[in-house]
Amino acid sequence: MSSTTSFPPLPPFLVSSGGTGSTVALTNGKIMSSSGGTIVESSLTVTSITPEAPSVNKWVFVSQYGNDTTGDGTYDHPYATTTKALSIISDASTTNRYGIHIRGTVSEATIYLKPYVWYFGDTWGCSRLNATSTNAIQLSPGAFTSGNSRCGMTNVYMTGSTGIDLDFIAQTASGSHVVEMDNLGVNGAVSIKSNNTNQYFQWRGSFCFSNFTFHGCLGFCSDAFIAGNVLVDNGTAGVVGQGLNLINCLVGGNVTLTGDGTHSNVLQLTACTVAGSTTVTGASSTLMVDGISLSAKASVSVSSGGALTRTTDAYAIGYAPTVSGNWLTQPNNVYDALDIAASEIASLPVWTKYSVSHTALQAASTTNNIQLFSLPAKSVMHAVIMKQTTAFAGTLTYTLSVGITGSLAKYLSAYDVTQAVSDSSFTQSGASVVVQPEDFGSATSIRLAATSTIQNLNQSSAGAVDVYVLTSKLP
């Protein structure tokens, strides 16, 4: 078949000889010398220099300047469309692999993948596929129903807003099928649908400027940029053992892992940055985080029985305390150290300031109380200090106290806040305050109570206080 040209001709390789007006060139394996406008072909043939080529056996060439009628698929006479190139390939197999080389911008509605056929370009600027359908890259109909296969695309840019839709489910595919995408640029969405554990998708060094969806398939994505969201689920087939491994990737949107509650579904993030949130749902879903950026780690949520597994990122590195006596509980790694430190810090008394204006306490009565804050279960009130920042006005008298429902002055007795503001004008809880938890099982509302005489509290015209509270939580 004439379409099996092994390699395109080598371009001229010019070497200056150092003399005036004299050069040496390498053209089609022959040494060519030029001197004074005369070109002489040497009898020496260079056989040790060959172009580096993918592992394919036969080549078919497609170009924007090709012709499906007069072309024969060779380098010098390429076809105009990949459809024509695929139509002449009927004997592709694991030992007879085809490469379709794309030159320029090739336009057609849909580009189909076929077993043991790869599309190759030179660069994004030189090799473009201008497909007009929404799902520009698809599986060739009926080509993946049985047997095993590999196929893919390398160094090609998809123009327009078209995307990729590889639906193995629609083909009722069986066997093992691997799709390899390397250095590919796609403006539209990428969607992979699989119906068994032997179908794989590889996305390496490529760009997806929209959403990326894995339905029930195994995927490997490395050194890639995904501008939209990433969705990984079991797919409509509910296949066992599906998952996606993202390595050194940047995701511009959210990452969602959804399981069906029955079949295993795993997403591993390794040295990735996720701009949005990362959500895991489904009892069968597991998110494994390995070196994910802290900003993304902080936004991870696990619900509906999903699981988050810490793996071997920097925070799981083994840790041995320099002074072991500083730890009540000895940590084994950095994760443990951070968790233990956070727990022990939470047990230390901490001062918190609450600022309250007179408007928050106004009521059509002479008494009112509002929640100052919610004291968590197992927490202890140690002390309270109150200082007015603006003297209260508008009522004859005005006092504030701090306590709980049923005992509104339990932690701070009534304090006159109509007095002039000064650095030494403040009050604090006394020795009568019992340091003990309010409740081991539930949070307690700590109340700020206001009392006036004659005028109602809604007659106040000014006033503000800062309330400082010292609390701790039992381990």
pLDDT digits (tens, 9 = 90+) for 5-28: 444 443 333 333 333 333 333 334
**The predicted structure's pLDDT at residue 465:** 97
Q: Which residue, 116, 123, 110, is CA-closest to 144?
A: 116
**The predicted structure's pLDDT at residue 340:** 79
> Tokens at residue 174, please?
């069986």
Query: What is residue 334's three-state secondary structure?
Result: helix
Q: Mean pLDDT throughout 145-169?
A: 85
The greatest distance separating any two alpha carbons of the chain, rounded to the nearest whole angstrom, comes to 119
CA–CA gap between residue 2 and residue 5 (Å, rounded): 7
**The predicted structure's pLDDT at residue 35:** 39
**The predicted structure's pLDDT at residue 419:** 93
Q: Is the pLDDT of residue 66 over 80?
A: yes
Q: Is the pLDDT of residue 173 over 60?
A: yes
Q: What ranges do the domains of the chain cover?
A: 107-316, 350-473
Q: Which of 148-157, 169-178, 424-433 has the lowest mean pLDDT?
A: 169-178
71 versus 273: which is more confidently predicted?
A: 71
Q: Is the pLDDT of residue 238 over 70?
A: no
92 versus 323: which is more confidently predicted?
A: 92
Q: Which of 57-61, 222-226, 244-248, 359-363 has the lowest mean pLDDT?
A: 244-248
**The predicted structure's pLDDT at residue 218:** 79
- Amino acid present at 234: N
pLDDT band at 169 (very low <50, low <70, confident <90, very high): confident
Element (H, E) at 85: helix 82-87
CA 472 to chain centre: 37
**The predicted structure's pLDDT at residue 337:** 79
**The predicted structure's pLDDT at residue 260:** 67
Calculate what percentage of the chain has a pLDDT beyond 70: 77
Burial letters for 236-261: b for 16+ Cβ neighbours within 10 Å, e otherwise?
Answer: ebbbeebbbbbbebbbbbbbbbbbbe
| Whole-prediction pTM | 0.56
| Model confidence pLDDT, tens digit, residues 112-131 | 999 999 999 988 888 888 88
**The predicted structure's pLDDT at residue 40:** 39
- CB-based contacts of 300: which residues, under 8 Å, 6+ apart? 277, 278, 279, 280, 287, 289, 308
Q: Is the pLDDT of residue 32 over 90?
A: no
Q: Is the pLDDT of residue 50 over 60?
A: no
Q: Is the pLDDT of residue 333 over 80?
A: no
Contact 165, 140 (CB under 8 A): no
Q: Which residue, 210, 203, 204, 164, is CA-closest to 187?
A: 210
Confirm or reject CATH 2.60.120 for domain 350-473, answering yes or no.
yes
Q: Is the pLDDT of residue 328 over 60?
A: yes
- CB-based contacts of 111: which residues, under 8 Å, 6+ apart? 82, 119, 129, 131, 136, 137, 138
